[in-house]
Chains A and B, each alone.
Chain A
């Protein structure tokens, strides 16, 4: 049986009625001990009998064609094969569901994977990949540089103009018209993309490191030209994704291709350099933000235009202005997105695509407006929270933004904030900054199978993934809560396309979507138990393996004569509301008056994301967002050579993600909230809400500390000290 729900109307708050208590307390993730003891096995840790090893060959030119000379390496020790067929140019975009560009002999960026070398051992394969002779025909019309790019094209579907912003700017008492630039980013997940492919007849099984198996199955099948039912994907543990594993990658495709040719299992592990080139990166951006406000700081108009880049034939553009549409009021509104086609690695989704960089510009501009108008930045934000969506006129499904800002201000000690350069500790200027957080909330179709056994154990099965976010934990908690079991009695099986197809992990929709499917499957089981107990499902109470209903009380073991299995199926419905998670980020930073070095002393995130399913894993997600905020604001920058597009800092030594010492005290507070429009659990996504706005709080704090506005991210010392 399938319990199906199309989420087009609000649902009762069942999780407020169930009494198990599984989701009301912080709970450690069940697979934690496996991970910290090294016994959780990731794709690259599997071996197959007679397995060969593949290594990707990188293109050494920016644009042109190539011929690769197999004979130049065929006699090298261990050589098994060199394959170029079906090779994909870059990873698929999230939810693409089809093959990425397969350019054949064309090279469109330096570092593009052009072939896979297969040998008996990894070191042999790597050595052969270095040795293989490649003849290049260079084309000299490459356009790799963003700052001098001229071939921008407006994405007209993404443009919008409402009212008259020019007039609003002219009429305003206070205006901001500022241009911001952000650097390309890499997801920099700890685990490199890896795949182990094994064929049996015309069916291939690939162990990969992938976020969205339902889509990845189709993407791989399409890339190989085989039916999707002949592809099975396994991805049980994933060492971070952040968008880089949304789509099928060159490791999966080349491992499958090589394995088919050789008739033996092949494992391809991306080198860290490949991870910086062959998977999607965050686009660089230039953003112009205009704000027009009356004498009291009420917004009259908002403009947010952006310029970004991608490879030819990629449909993705980063929705940089997403939050600007619904966060603050103002009648006159202008948006535009321009994309240049450049010869550098593909742009795609990286952690909170849109808000992660769009809110840097918007929330910095709000800080500048607060300064210009002489209004406290928190007051300015609160007074500009609109009644309804300023463009669609829709109500907000739930929105605790004002509460987050004001409660956060109290907790953070905002009233101690001083004017720039007024707080000095030795060589350091110290200051505070604030930014709103907002992240669109999304529900995706998702299925899960739930089984309750008479012995009081339960099983959840779905091809959902856990990319470190806590999926194993929250799905076990939801099933435990609904079925009245201790959560350690619930086993969760994930990451296998043979299981019911889930939403996958991305867009912060995983918990809400796959969790709702588990919720619905368990709800159907509750109905069966109620039937057997002879009570109305609404009157059923399940706790610690005991069912109570009406005036009957019986253990589950007596009610069930065998396992009960139900499938849950959630689909998004049509609802005329604006749905997003909201919050407030606070940061206190110290800026060195000699060198311009910035140290984040403490941060606070007050988050309102509906019902929180597990405060512990949710907190970890928000910590991760705050830390991304530090990286975005201060250190992370893909450096492209402007002549070749070459990612020069293509490893973790030179691409600076924050280190422990960069992170001060992180405080997280959740606002109790229910979003009835979101899903039957009233939860909203939390992961990416944690980054949205976080970096802006830091750069606003830099200004408050030392009086320097950094509009060119990241705020490295050289952008600060010359102004001190």
Chain B
């Protein structure tokens, strides 16, 4: 680990140091520093700041950036209204990690691509222009949507998938103190030619909260397919909320993990479902839209048919179409 300075922020004014890397739970950053994938010269610890509350506001719930994953999952309000978020959180990591990991930090987890993690290997995300070993290598857990010729990394978070589904907004405090509000879609960048640029955060920015709008109508679920029952990243995960009325789908939203460099959502797919009667054929069409242009790379070929099966099962269950 490269030597670094450690500074503790005692006020929000302290927390906008563009030369520093912010640390909260450290569950990912410390690993990255030990491997020298990240080598910050200064760590700014924000855990003493007042961002630990879950507050109900008009038409929304505001989650402080320091609320731990464990506390967020167990919060009665979250469990009651946003069950999908609670379940997504509990599907991620382990009890120990969830006790430390923060809401803001979870959003900023970096990919688990194995080549990114080994500094003896080229990686365009770690060292722009050095090449991608994953494309033709071991890419079982890597992405099939939203990739580029430079990077096929997946975003590993479960929490962020549910937040994308729920149209969450990320509240960012800029160095001047003003607030910036971004959707998760706006917050995360696709790799394109710059896979090392992952989010819209700028130097000195601080994530202070996540806002959840009123819960959507309908039944919620989070389904995660993985290689073991816990402490495994998603092969495919799906957060969904679907409402039906008199045999028709009246509302539908689906977000996916394990498929793309960011929590994935396809509004065209959702539009296709709304107003229709649930049927296997409809679900297949929805999967067609989602998977149009999907590109697999060998080890992860299975994700395309697996995603289709998951989409159909989730929609079947939420609409009651499954016998």
Q: Which residues of A contact B (CB under 8 A)?
A: 58, 60, 77, 110, 123, 126-127, 130, 273, 427, 594-595, 597, 599, 634-635, 639-643, 646, 648-651, 653-654, 656, 658-662, 716-718, 721-722
B120 CB–A CB distance under 8 Å: yes
Across-interface contacts of B133 in A (CB, < 8 A): 641, 643
Question: In the complex the two chains form, what is the Cα distance from A415 to B92 in whole Å?
Answer: 39
Question: In the complex the two chains form, what is the Cα distance from A593 to B250 in whole Å?
Answer: 28
What does the 1/0 interface line of B221-238 toward A look like (CB < 8 Å)? 000011111111001000
B114 CB–A CB distance under 8 Å: yes
Q: Which residue on chain B has the smallest CB distance to residue A630?
A: B228
B138 touches A639 (CB 8 A): yes
B306 touches A661 (CB 8 A): no
List the 5 shortest-distance A-B pairs measured between CB atoms, nearest first. Answer: A661-B229, A60-B120, A718-B302, A648-B114, A594-B313
Mostly helix, strand, loop or mixed at chain B's interface? Answer: loop
Q: Which of A427, A653, A656 has the most CB of B within 10 A?
A: A653
A717 touches B235 (CB 8 A): yes
B203 CB–A CB distance under 8 Å: no
Q: Which residue on chain B has the smallest CB distance to residue A639?
A: B138
Q: Which listed residue (A126, A643, A659, A722) contacts B34, Cβ 8 A?
A: A126
What does the 1/0 interface line of B1-34 toward A look like (CB < 8 Å)? 1110000000000000000000000000000001
B35: shortest Cβ distance to chain A, in Å? 8
A126 touches B1 (CB 8 A): yes
Q: Which of A110, A643, A662 has the most CB of B within 10 A?
A: A662
Q: Which of A642, A650, A717 has the most CB of B within 10 A?
A: A717
For this complex, 19 residue pairs linking A to B, each with C-beta atoms less than 8 Å apart, are A77-B3, A127-B36, A594-B313, A595-B306, A597-B225, A634-B228, A639-B114, A639-B138, A640-B138, A641-B137, A646-B121, A648-B115, A649-B114, A654-B141, A659-B230, A661-B230, A662-B228, A718-B302, A721-B305
Across-interface contacts of A635 in B (CB, < 8 A): 227-228
Contact flag A646-B118 (CB < 8 Å), given A635-B227, A662-B229: yes
B248 CB–A CB distance under 8 Å: no
Question: In the complex the two chains form, what is the Cα distance from A126 to B112 in whole Å?
Answer: 22
Across-interface contacts of B138 in A (CB, < 8 A): 639-641, 648-649
Question: In the complex the two chains form, what is the Cα distance from A227 to B121 in whole Å?
Answer: 41
What does the 1/0 interface line of B203-219 toward A look like (CB < 8 Å)? 00000000000000000
B310 CB–A CB distance under 8 Å: yes
A723: shortest Cβ distance to chain B, in Å? 11
Across-interface contacts of A716 in B (CB, < 8 A): 227
Q: Which of B120, B232, B313 has the most CB of A within 10 A?
A: B120
B228 touches A656 (CB 8 A): yes
Of residues 293 through 323 on chain B, the ones whose CB sits less than 8 Å from some CB of chain A are 302, 305-306, 309-310, 312-313
B309 touches A659 (CB 8 A): no
B196 CB–A CB distance under 8 Å: no
Question: In the complex the two chains form, what is the Cα distance from A643 to B225 in whole Å?
Answer: 29
Across-interface contacts of A659 in B (CB, < 8 A): 228-231
Q: Which residue on chain A has the smallest CB distance to residue B303?
A: A718
B232 touches A722 (CB 8 A): no
Of residues 225 through 266 on chain B, the ones whose CB sits less than 8 Å from some CB of chain A are 225-232, 235
B112 touches A595 (CB 8 A): no
A654 touches B114 (CB 8 A): yes
Across-interface contacts of B229 in A (CB, < 8 A): 599, 659, 661-662
What does the 1/0 interface line of B138-168 toward A look like (CB < 8 Å)? 1011000000000000000000000000000
Contact flag A653-B112 (CB < 8 Å), given A130-B36, A634-B228, A648-B137: yes
Q: Which residue on chain A has the smallest CB distance to residue B137?
A: A641
B313 touches A427 (CB 8 A): yes
B267 CB–A CB distance under 8 Å: no
A525: shortest Cβ distance to chain B, in Å? 49
A639 touches B140 (CB 8 A): yes
Q: Which of B3, B34, B112, B227 has the most CB of A within 10 A?
A: B227
Question: In the complex the two chains form, what is the Cα distance from A321 to B227 in whole Å?
Answer: 29
Across-interface contacts of A660 in B (CB, < 8 A): 230
Q: Which residue on chain B has the smallest CB distance to residue A719?
A: B302
B228 touches A58 (CB 8 A): no
B313: shortest Cβ distance to chain A, in Å? 4
Question: In the complex the two chains form, what is the Cα distance from A427 to B225 in whole Å?
Answer: 14
B41 CB–A CB distance under 8 Å: no
Question: In the complex the two chains form, what is the Cα distance from A165 to B137 in whole Å?
Answer: 40
B60 CB–A CB distance under 8 Å: no
B308: shortest Cβ distance to chain A, in Å? 10
B119 CB–A CB distance under 8 Å: yes
Question: In the complex the two chains form, what is the Cα distance from A116 to B237 in whole Å?
Answer: 43
Q: Which residue on chain A has the smallest CB distance to residue B301?
A: A718
Interface contacts beyond A650-B118, A721-B305: sample of 18 additional A-B pairs, CB < 8 Å, sorted by A: A110-B120, A126-B1, A594-B309, A594-B313, A597-B225, A597-B226, A635-B227, A639-B138, A641-B133, A642-B137, A646-B120, A649-B138, A651-B117, A654-B141, A660-B230, A717-B225, A717-B235, A721-B306
Question: In the complex the two chains form, what is the Cα distance from A649 to B232 in whole Å?
Answer: 12
Q: Which residue on chain B has the smallest CB distance to residue A122?
A: B1
A130 touches B119 (CB 8 A): yes
A229: shortest Cβ distance to chain B, in Å? 40
Question: In the complex the two chains form, what is the Cα distance from A594 to B236 in whole Å?
Answer: 12
Question: In the complex the two chains form, what is the Cα distance from A110 to B114 in whole Å?
Answer: 14
Question: In the complex the two chains form, what is the Cα distance from A642 to B134 in whole Å?
Answer: 11
What does the 1/0 interface line of B116-128 toward A look like (CB < 8 Å)? 0111110000000
Q: Which residue on chain A has the smallest CB distance to residue B302?
A: A718
Q: Which residue on chain A has the smallest CB distance to residue B113?
A: A648
Across-interface contacts of A651 in B (CB, < 8 A): 117
Question: In the complex the two chains form, what is the Cα distance from A659 to B225 in whole Å?
Answer: 15
Question: In the complex the two chains form, what is the Cα distance from A110 to B133 in whole Å?
Answer: 15
Across-interface contacts of A717 in B (CB, < 8 A): 225, 227, 235, 302, 306
B309 touches A721 (CB 8 A): yes
Across-interface contacts of A634 in B (CB, < 8 A): 228
Question: In the complex the two chains form, what is the Cα distance from A316 to B302 in whole Å?
Answer: 36
Contact flag A643-B313 (CB < 8 Å), given A60-B120, A634-B228, A659-B228: no
B157: shortest Cβ distance to chain A, in Å? 14
